[in-house]
Amino acid sequence: MTQTAPRPPIRFRGRSFMAMVLAPALPVADWLADLDALARRSPAFFSGRPVILDVSGLSLERDDLVGLVSDLGARDIAILGIEGAGPTFLGPGLPPPLSGGRPAGDIAEPEPGAAAPPPVEAPPAPVRSLILDNPVRSGQTILHLEGDITVMGSVASGSEVIAGGSIHVYGTLRGRAIAGAAGNPQARIYCRRFEPELIAIDGLYRTADDLGPGQRGQAVEVRLVADAIKVTSLD
């Protein structure tokens, strides 16, 4: 009999890219008309660009937001995420909620007929920490690939915290915590009460079913040891 070599563990990593942010203005129909005028002057302006939709300045009903995303899709503008809308306001049929983005300046409108520039990878940013004074609510995604994330409250079930460095949760961790997402095997996860749906470091992950009841409800440290996730009680 031939022995099958063990399959390597599945890894996933984050990577920072520059994204364009579209912030519609009321009335939306007039704003879409201005967008069409831009497209006529520069047909390839949105080609190949990741786009985030910022609706924080609008008061839209959910059906209006679904219609807006559909209108943009019909113009070949694919929305990767939405800022400024509550997680319960989104859900099926809409892109995921995003928060924690870092402004990178305005993007100049190209000359008429200019070709679209290729997607630009974000330059390395100085390592810095993101501190959240409020809990992370269900449906929220907190993404910060430039350093650690510290949550002074809890991380609710159905939410996600993704850090390039370590994650510190001073309450209960019930959602998904992904540390070292930019390729940092030294990253760690700390929490006061351990009840996660999923934990991951540098692309290696374990789900709640994989973890078992051993450290649930305890204060723990999560780190990588010999390319495997190790959970250690801190009490």
- The residues spanned by each domain of the chain are 13-104, 130-233
For 194, other C-beta atoms within 10 Å of its C-beta total 26
Q: What is the pLDDT of residues 179-216, one digit of tens each?
A: 998 788 999 999 999 999 989 898 888 888 888 778 88
| CA–CA separation, 77 and 49 (whole Å) | 8
Per-residue pLDDT averaged across 162-186, rounded?
A: 92
Q: 62-74 and 28-41 are packed helices; what angle lies between their axes, rounded to 10 degrees?
A: 10
CATH 2.40.40.20 given to domain 13-104: no
The more confident residue out of 118 and 202 is 202
Q: What is the pLDDT of residues 39-85, one digit of tens each?
A: 787 776 777 777 888 888 777 787 888 888 888 888 888 888 888 77
Instruction: Tell me how many degrees the CA angle 9-99-229 measures, rounded to the nearest 5.
Output: 20
**Predicted pLDDT at 173:** 96
Question: Within 13 Å and on the Cβ side, how many CA atoms surround 14?
Answer: 24
Say if residue 107's pLDDT is above 90.
no
Q: Cite the DSSP H helix spans in the chain.
A: 28-41, 62-74, 208-211
* Confidence (pTM): 0.53
The more confident residue out of 25 and 179 is 179
Give whichever of 11-15, 105-109, 217-221 has the largest mean pLDDT.
Answer: 217-221
With H, G, I as helix, E, B as strand and everything else as coil, classify residue 111: coil
Residue 5 · residue 44 · CB < 8 Å: no
Architecture per CATH, domain 130-233, reads as 3 Solenoid (2.160)
